[in-house]
Amino acid sequence: MAAVRSAMTTTRTHFLLLPNNKCSSSGCYFLRLNKAFASLCRWPSTKEKSSSSSAEETLARRIASRGGSISSSSKEFSTREEGQSESLEYRIFFSDRTGRTISPWHDIPLRSSSGEDGDGTLLNFVVEIPKRTKAKMEVATEEQPYTPIKQDTKNGKLRYYPQIHCCAQLFFSRYNINWNYGLLPQTWEDPTHSNPDIENTYGDNDPVDIVEIGERQAEVGEVLKVKPLGIFAMIDEGELDWKVVAISVDDQKAYLVDDIDDVEIYFPGTLTAIHDWFQDYKVPDGSPPNRFGLGDKPADKATALRVIAETNAAWANLVNRHDPGEINQLKPHAET
């Protein structure tokens, strides 16, 4: 037992996994996971097990105590729930200060009204999946015009991040995402636009994703003010799926980081952990690993701001050319 624990903390650790999440005694499917990712999935203490296992229950209690309304950090938006959580009918709708139902994708502004961070405009970030939770929540871009948050489905079943087991379940992941995750409103990765710098890939027909590295666990539907720090060019099944690395301006370390190099200094191992997690998280379900462009490394803040500006312009062009209900009818590589 001690040997297993020791092996989990080596500088370059390889965990043995199969698509069915279990190992055999003779050999397993290798996921390339380094020390940074290992620290996120390390052997948990009894106290940690209790704390992590109640993360979703804590979030549910918070929602229930507020009468089904999740407050927004920006104080400009509110949310309401419809349906039972963890059901196909569950939705979270957004409203503005006047009580008017709005779309978190189309109606929440990309740029925060709080001003600039000294190097670029602060951005609004819509939280879909809080850190340390497993339900794959997402803005329903196909449900126009209000695009509420729902739980994603596959083959008619609710989707969860796969639980990882190894060595007769001696090793396991307590949760499968260690960062707040969601979208940048008023952005769109155009599926008709080729990106020559990234293997001529086309956009994935979704808003740009945010990986927020702050300490606090956010709530589904929160709108956080963040500053972008860098960006990964992930390639998922041949489509380009940008991942912007950002931090909430309310985080205690926010003042320390202004660009991608600062992340490695003040959040050591985080960039590698993000890369490895997004590369391999679908493998336990039998999918191939994702790939990355831009030299398999995160690009700097300037690149992130350029991508955000381009995808914001693509969104503006989209909503001006198409009825909102037709947005998801666009086909990759179609002529416009």
Q: Give the start-to-end residue ranges of the domains of the chain.
A: 16-54+110-134+161-326
Model pLDDT, residue 82: 97
- Count of other CB atoms within 10 angstroms of residue 115: 10
Higher pLDDT, 27 or 322: 322
Percent of the chain with pLDDT strictly greater than 70: 68
- Catalytic positions, written as ranges: 161
Pseudo-torsion of CA 235, 241, 157, 224, nearest 10°?
140
Residue 291, pLDDT above cutoff 60:
yes
* Residue 268 tokens, joined: 């050591």
Model pLDDT, residue 259: 97
* Residue 324 tokens, joined: 């909102």
Model pLDDT, residue 229: 98
Find tokens 């200060």 and name the residue.
97
Percent of the chain with pLDDT strictly greater than 90: 61
126 CB contacts (<8 Å, ≥6 apart)? Answer: 104, 105, 108, 139, 182, 183, 184, 185, 221, 222, 223
Q: Cβ distance 298 to 260 under 8 Å?
A: yes
For 164, which DSSP code? P
pLDDT bucket at 164, cuts 50 / 70 / 90 = low
Residue 45, pLDDT above cutoff 90:
no
Mean pLDDT, residues 253-270: 97
* Residue 211 tokens, joined: 């990986």
Mean pLDDT is lowest, of 61-70, 225-234, 287-296, 324-333, for 61-70
Model pLDDT, residue 321: 75
Q: Cβ distance 22 to 165 under 8 Å?
A: yes
Model pLDDT, residue 205: 96
| Cross-strand pairs, 241 | 234
- Count of other CB atoms within 10 angstroms of residue 323: 10
Strand duo 209-212 + 239-248: pairing: parallel
Could you report how far apart the first and last alpha carbons of the chain are, in Å? Answer: 60
Homologous superfamily of domain range 16-54+110-134+161-326: Inorganic pyrophosphatase (3.90.80.10)
Model pLDDT, residue 207: 98
Mean pLDDT, residues 18-47: 40
pLDDT bucket at 120, cuts 50 / 70 / 90 = low
Residue 237, pLDDT above cutoff 60:
yes
pLDDT bucket at 328, cuts 50 / 70 / 90 = low
Mean pLDDT, residues 75-83: 93
Model pLDDT, residue 252: 97
Model pLDDT, residue 284: 83
Mean pLDDT, residues 290-304: 97
Strand duo 291-292 + 209-212: pairing: unpaired
Model pLDDT, residue 39: 43
Query: How many Å apart are CA 236 and CA 85, to the nearest integer?
Result: 28
pLDDT bucket at 323, cuts 50 / 70 / 90 = low
Q: Which long-range contacts (CB under 8 A, 24 or more apart) does 80-86 make?
A: 82/148, 85/60, 86/135, 86/151, 86/158
